[in-house]
């Protein structure tokens, strides 16, 4: 296909999705494997072409379902790319989303013949096609920031959870250990959590169960 200045090639609008999750206590990303050229056998982000007449939301949900089998995830828009040379097949305009989801909510639905759960730390970016490496890294950076300043972690936790559960999420995603006392003080001071006055008895000593106060994304108050 020619892509000269005065040709009539119409840009193809698409969505690509960076889906993060925690699986077996590892921070992971969901990728698909291309079966055709270009980038045959490379990992790429799940994605697809937008259908006119539907909103971005509707297109997102449809593409997510088609490419992964997953019905719903929490998501945020990341960036939009448009570059005549980005995709070698056509002139693509690509809207990138990143998403965070607990594996319990998608393992029933996911089609593992289509999508692979890849441990983030052992992902070799040499195996990733297109320009998806920089997209994935940018999404991770945004996620780290959101973890620190918002209640985004609610999307990867069950409705009721202990402070230890929560701390573990932070440690796995940020890739570092965190002091337990300081973590508790900081999280409780932000007032994003509510004590449910119930207990989790699955560990040895029972632990308090908390829930998030806000249903939607909330930037933490810096007191």
Residue selected from 116, 185, 191, 194 as contacting DNA according to rule CB under 7 A: 185
Give per-residue burial for 42-52: e unless 16+ CB within 10 Å, then b. bbbbbbbebee
Contact, 30 vs 68, CB < 8 A? yes
DSSP 87: S
The region of 52-60, 65-73, 97-105, 183-191 touching DNA under the rule CB under 7 A is 183-191
81 binds a second copy, rule: CB under 8 A:
yes
197 binds DNA, rule: CB under 7 A:
no
145 binds a second copy, rule: CB under 8 A:
no
Residue whose CB is less far from a second copy, 91 or 184: 91
Helix segments in the chain, DSSP class H: 56-68, 132-149, 163-174, 180-189
CA distance 34 to 18: 16
150 binds DNA, rule: CB under 7 A:
no
Residue 162 contact, options DNA, a second copy, none, Cβ 5-8 Å cut-off depending on partner type: DNA
Of 134, 111, 127, the closest CA to residue 44 belongs to: 127
Residue whose CB is less far from DNA, 84 or 206: 206
Residue selected from 179, 191, 194, 213 as contacting DNA according to rule CB under 7 A: 179
Residue selected from 56, 112, 188, 217 as contacting a second copy according to rule CB under 8 A: 56
Residue 52 contact, options a second copy, DNA, none, Cβ 5-8 Å cut-off depending on partner type: a second copy
The DSSP string of 37-85 is SSSTT-EE--EEEPPTTS-HHHHHHHHHHHHH-----EEEEEEEEE-TT
Sole residue written with tokens 């996911």:
110
203 binds a second copy, rule: CB under 8 A:
no
Which residues are within 8 A (CB) of 134 and not within 5 positions of it... i.e. 6 or more apart? none
107 binds a second copy, rule: CB under 8 A:
no
Residues at the site binding a second copy, with contacts judged by CB under 8 A: 3-11, 13, 50, 52-56, 59, 77, 79-84, 91, 93, 95
Residues at the site binding DNA, with contacts judged by CB under 7 A: 162-164, 179-182, 184-186, 189, 201, 203-208, 223
């Amino acid at each position: 296909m020619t892509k000269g200045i005065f040709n009539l090639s119409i840009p193809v609008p698409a969505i690509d999705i960076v889906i993060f999750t925690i699986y077996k206590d590892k921070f992971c990303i969901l990728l698909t494997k291309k079966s055709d050229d270009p980038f045959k056998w490379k990992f790429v982000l799940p994605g697809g072409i937008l259908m006119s007449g539907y909103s971005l939301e509707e297109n997102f949900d449809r593409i997510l379902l088609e490419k992964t089998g997953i019905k719903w995830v929490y998501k945020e828009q990341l960036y939009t790319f448009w570059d005549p040379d980005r995709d070698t097949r056509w002139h693509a305009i690509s809207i990138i989303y990143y998403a965070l989801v607990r594996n319990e909510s998608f393992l029933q639905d996911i089609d593992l013949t289509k999508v692979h759960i890849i441990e983030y730390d052992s992902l070799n970016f040499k195996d990733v096609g297109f320009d998806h490496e920089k997209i994935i890294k940018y999404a991770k950076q945004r996620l780290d920031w959101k973890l620190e300043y918002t209640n985004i972690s609610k999307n990867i936790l069950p409705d009721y959870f202990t402070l230890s559960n929560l701390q573990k999420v932070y440690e796995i995603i940020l890739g570092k250990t965190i002091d337990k006392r300081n973590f508790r003080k900081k999280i409780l001071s932000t007032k994003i959590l509510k004590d449910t006055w119930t207990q989790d008895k699955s560990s040895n000593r029972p632990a308090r169960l908390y829930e998030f106060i806000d249903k939607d994304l909330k930037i933490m108050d810096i007191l």
